[in-house]
Structure 1
Amino acid sequence: MPSSRFFRPLFTLSLAAALVSGCAWADDVKEIRIAVPDISAGPTPSGAGITDVLRDQQSLEKEFAKDGIKVRWDFFKGAGPAINEALANGQEDFAYLGDLPAIVGKASGLDTRLLSATARDIKLYLAVQPGSGITSLEALKGKRVAIFRGTATQLSFASALASRGLKESDYKVINLDYNAANTALVAKQIDATWAGAGLIALKAKGLAELPLTTVDLGGAGSVQTVLLGRGAFVDAHPDLTARLLKAQQPAVAWLRDEAHKQAYVDLVSRLASYPAAILATDAADQSFARIFDPQLDSSFTGNLQHSVDLALQARLIRKGFQVSSWAQPQYLNAALQTAPDATQASR
């Protein structure tokens, strides 16, 4: 086996060769299609996180305009399951996804490449009816809980339960999307729901109590999000893949700068139709420099591997896999070498 001092130059050369050879196919691409789950509560779409920043700054559009390549953003109310179907049908080239749908797709045989972390340790909340007296997951046993199945929220709930020695079968779980779950909670058709910062709006109106978050569980149930590439596209166009990762990094650096936190809150509020005060409340005690670190480091891939193993244990997937064989960090690593601020913002 070659020593590392010889292997690294060879690896760098092999990637460079792939990028050069990929240029032969670049002229065939007229459009790059990117799928995003739509979390918006209003008429304009929003994916929050890096996707909203990229769209606002037109980072990808500017990068590929010189070649006459359009960037198409497709937002899916059906979230992860709908995006996996679109990837399987060759209708999308890249996808920004939460951990569970990304894992489900891979475990089901969908040929994707794990290209970048996009967020880590996203906080989720338990919302219950006001005056219910429910303050813990244990006290919720046997109650009606709405979960958006097939999304990262489902895996988050399973992880939160496992941390307390509980399982989904201890509850009457109902599959509802986020807006429907909020409506059902207000109408007292369910006892609780588990979701993201949008639940703060219900609390602000006195329509729900939020007795528990993933922070209270020591991080159990926090969500990771990723950038995936469709395998056939990445293999055929390594140059475009590398350019997309490189073009993403200035937006990542901007997002990770704590001085931009309020500007980010205002941006997502405008796009997603969420009150800015609610988003600010959620973001107040969180480090954007840490949450939006793009690196596929051992901490991130280790958490993903734990999620794969948990998804298998909870029967959310039928077959496990090794995250190390899924990840292709070479594109991100090359991008970070030319945009170091993306990994060092606010440190």
Structure 2
Amino acid sequence: MIIVFPRFARRFAAPVLAALFTCMVPLAQAADVREIRIAVPDLSAGTQHSGTGTVDVLRNQQLLEKAFAEDGIKVQWNFFKGAGPAINEALANGQVDFAYLGDLAAIIGKANGLDTRVLSANGRGIKQYLAVNPEAGIKTLQDLKGKHVAIFRGTAYQLSFAAALASQGLKEKDLKVINLDINAAVAALGAKQIDATWGSASLTALRDRGLAEIPLTTLDLRGAGSIQSVLVGYGPFIDAHPEVVDTLLKTNAQALHWLQQESNRQAYIELVSGLANYPQATLQDDLQGLDLSVRFDPRLDPAFLAQLQASVDLAAEHRLIRKPFKVSEWLWDKAL
């Protein structure tokens, strides 16, 4: 049977159908996605996975899984002990769609031609530590000249260390730098096979066991060497599924908002301690005196972008990338 619309009905049918189709497009696009794949550096010292910060809150509260459940989209978390370099390789091979990264790894990926977009700030002013062999007599960065120092190359730790050295008029070439991942560096320092290493709060566990000293942190350098972290997405995925990215960003901001609340400080410490196998005292010391509302601010505000641009320029200056680029051209146009 053929239904014929009266003339007055035909007048309104086209715009109504057009509007209906427009509303259905995002739903159709979301339906094309069955899974989102997220890459995270595995910072755990134990058997469970931990990315600390936003990642641990998202996973513990199942925020992304709940946000995407209605669309039937699964969330796959991929943890990499190889940190930034391994994650950049996964992005290049199309194996992941999003990644939580420290500044240098994200910068190297972009500089090497990876089509990524910065979606959100994920952490700012993250404190770093110099851990040294108690018998090496190291009290300042100047004392590192000619010493064997372990650095995890290709990660935010390398750029952080370069910035810290630069603040004291030093460069890597003034030292004997060895490339070791965090766990290997901790083992080597504990066994007195190296003189020092540079990294996160996990190094204080060596101090607490009497195996290392912590003569300084980035706070002693007026912030020089502190790390920024970002959430980036794979360009082709973002272009094809902006509505999925929008949901992810809103949920990511929800986790960051939880982290910004002073009332959640102890709950966060207990969460990371349980997942990453860090002593609670280590995390309490690391966060002591810090304004959580600043540390976990998701905005890509001028201050954060200026620091990220400074990191790009420093990476180029130290030949960690071939040439600098404009951070303003790296952002997703709908980013926070």
Quick one: distance in 1 between partners of 2:217 and 2:188?
20
> Structure 2, unaligned stretches of length 5 or more?
1-20
- What residue is the counterpart of 1:152 in the other structure? 156
Within the alignment, does 1:285 sit opposite 2:295 as a pair?
A: no
Quick one: distance in 1 between partners of 2:95 and 2:124?
27
Question: Percent sequence identity over matched residues?
Answer: 63
Matches within 5 A, 1:229-248: 229-248=233-252
Matches within 5 A, 1:174-253: 174-253=178-257
Matches within 5 A, 1:284-323: 284-323=288-327
User: Alpha carbons of 1:18 and 1:276: their partners in 2 closer, same or farther (altered >3 Å)?
Assistant: farther
- Does the Cα contact within 8 Å between 1:160 and 1:214 map onto a contact in 2? yes
User: Alpha carbons of 1:242 and 1:208: their partners in 2 closer, same or farther (altered >3 Å)?
Assistant: same
**CA RMSD, aligned part only?**
1.4
Within the alignment, does 1:173 sit opposite 2:195 as a pair?
A: no
Query: How many residues align structurally?
Result: 316
Superimposed CA distance per residue, residues 136-162 of structure 1 (whole angstroms, 9 cap, x where no aligned partner) = 110111100000001100000000011
Q: Deviation at 1:329?
A: 5.3
Quick one: distance in 1 between partners of 2:24 and 2:131?
52
Within the alignment, does 1:104 sit opposite 2:108 as a pair?
A: yes
Q: Deviation at 1:23?
A: 3.8
Within the alignment, does 1:60 sit opposite 2:64 as a pair?
A: yes
Quick one: distance in 1 between partners of 2:240 and 2:306?
29
Quick one: distance in 2 between partners of 1:88 and 1:261?
36
Q: Deviation at 1:302?
A: 0.4
- Does the Cα contact within 8 Å between 1:99 and 1:224 map onto a contact in 2? yes
Three-state SS of the structure 2 residue aligned to 1:36 is strand
- Does the Cα contact within 8 Å between 2:118 and 2:335 map onto a contact in 1? no
Amino acid at match of 1:57: Q
User: Alpha carbons of 1:139 and 1:177: their partners in 2 closer, same or farther (altered >3 Å)?
Assistant: same
Q: What TM-score comes out, normalization by structure 2 length?
A: 0.92
Within the alignment, does 1:78 sit opposite 2:79 as a pair?
A: no
Amino acid at match of 1:195: G
Superimposed CA distance per residue, residues 195-230 of structure 1 (whole angstroms, 9 cap, x where no aligned partner) = 000011011111110001111111010000000010
Quick one: distance in 2 between partners of 1:228 and 1:19?
28
Superimposed CA distance per residue, residues 91-113 of structure 1 (whole angstroms, 9 cap, x where no aligned partner) = 10100000000000000000001
Three-state SS of the structure 2 residue aligned to 1:27 is helix
Q: Deviation at 1:21?
A: 4.6
The structure number with the bigger radius of gyration is 2
Quick one: distance in 2 between partners of 1:128 and 1:327?
38
1:328 to 323, 328, 332: 332
Quick one: distance in 2 between partners of 1:165 and 1:218?
15
1:35 to 27, 33, 39: 39
- What residue is the counterpart of 1:344 in the other structure? none
Q: Deviation at 1:331?
A: 3.7
- Does the Cα contact within 8 Å between 2:117 and 2:232 map onto a contact in 1? yes
Quick one: distance in 1 between partners of 2:238 and 2:332?
10
Quick one: distance in 1 between partners of 2:216 and 2:146?
18
User: Alpha carbons of 1:108 and 1:22: their partners in 2 closer, same or farther (altered >3 Å)?
Assistant: farther
Quick one: distance in 2 between partners of 1:149 and 1:311?
12
Three-state SS of the structure 2 residue aligned to 1:114 is strand
- What residue is the counterpart of 2:264 in the other structure? 260
- Does the Cα contact within 8 Å between 1:19 and 1:239 map onto a contact in 2? no
User: Alpha carbons of 1:72 and 1:164: their partners in 2 closer, same or farther (altered >3 Å)?
Assistant: same
- What residue is the counterpart of 1:132 in the other structure? 136
- Does the Cα contact within 8 Å between 2:118 and 2:231 map onto a contact in 1? yes
Quick one: distance in 2 between partners of 1:329 and 1:180?
40
User: Alpha carbons of 1:108 and 1:46: their partners in 2 closer, same or farther (altered >3 Å)?
Assistant: same
Q: Deviation at 1:284?
A: 1.4
User: Alpha carbons of 1:188 and 1:18: their partners in 2 closer, same or farther (altered >3 Å)?
Assistant: farther
Q: What TM-score comes out, normalization by structure 1 length?
A: 0.89
- Does the Cα contact within 8 Å between 2:39 and 2:77 map onto a contact in 1? yes
Quick one: distance in 1 between partners of 2:169 and 2:103?
22
Quick one: distance in 1 between partners of 2:24 and 2:132?
55
Amino acid at match of 1:257: Q
Quick one: distance in 1 between partners of 2:55 and 2:118?
17
